[in-house]
Amino acid sequence: MTETKPPLWQQVRDEMARDIRSGKVYPGELLPTEKALSERLGVHRHTVRRALQELREQGLVRTEQGRGTVVLEQPFEYKMGRRTRFSENMSLNRLKARSHFLYGDVITASELVAGQLELRPRSRVSYIEMYGEAEGKRVFVASQYIPHVDMEDLIAVFRKTGSLTKAYRHYGIKDYFRKVSRITTRLSNPEETRLLKLKQKQPLLVVEYVNVDPSGRPIEFGITRFSGDRMEIVVEGN
């Protein structure tokens, strides 16, 4: 059994991957130039290029001709399933995640909202806007519509607890499920760009969903807009 060293380019790749994953180089930063790397590591530029090619395939870096190679932010995973809840989701990912209240009011449902919630047209609904952070980064903004029946103080309770799940529990809804999710993409508008602290308009993942209680009655219609380069949606099993 002879122990052989892996090829040079793989050693280079692994060393660079380590530096990136360990946080030695920060996301958004440029790596040293291929020339600088090859001189520092004592290998040919082609060897560095071979390593960079793999790092690109792994989604760790992005190379721009004439500019350099930038370290990419690794997106957070948003596991979407029947039991989807944002805060649980993120804490499972050992991330510090929090939702922040932006605005709440009782409004008249538009046709779309009434339809999704299976309410009569122009029913009254609670409307809540919030944004979410993970590891200090803004990762989503969300709008939620909740039937106003028997939940007059929902907004106040939500502000107190900071969690819709907890607010629901306060009203006797102990459990709920994701009925359907519709996923689209579009560029952020100025408002979203500001709220998500993006440098410029960028693609968003837009998830429109309906949550239902155990009896199948809709209790929440929501539109969540995820920052496309900070989040990815994972649908498992399914």
Give contact residues for its own copies (rule: CB under 8 A): 54, 57-58, 75, 80-82, 110-112, 178-187, 203-205, 228-229, 232-238
Of the two residues 51 and 130, which places its CB atom closer to its own copies in the complex?
51
Binding mask 52-91 for DNA (x = CB under 7 A): x----------xxxxxxx----------------------
Of the two residues 72 and 233, which places its CB atom closer to DNA in the complex?
72
Contacts of 103 (CB under 8 A, 6+ apart): 127, 128, 129
According to CB under 7 A, which one of 16, 20, 31, 114 is a site residue for DNA? 31
Give per-residue burial for 167-178: e unless 16+ CB within 10 Å, then b: bbeebebeebeb
With 0-12 / 13-18 / 19 or more C-beta atoms within 10 angstroms meaning exposed / middle / buried, residue 229 is middle
Residue 35 binds DNA (CB under 7 A) = yes
Angle at CA of residue 131, ends 130 and 137, nearest 5°: 165
What tokens does 54 get?
A: 């793999």
Residue 7 binds DNA (CB under 7 A) = yes
Residue 25 binds DNA (CB under 7 A) = no
According to CB under 7 A, which one of 24, 83, 122, 194 is a site residue for DNA? 122
106-113: long-range pairs with CB below 8 Å, 24+: 106/148, 106/155, 109/145, 113/145, 113/221
Of the two residues 60 and 151, which places its CB atom closer to its own copies in the complex?
60
User: Applying CB under 7 A, what is the total number of residues that bind DNA?
Assistant: 27
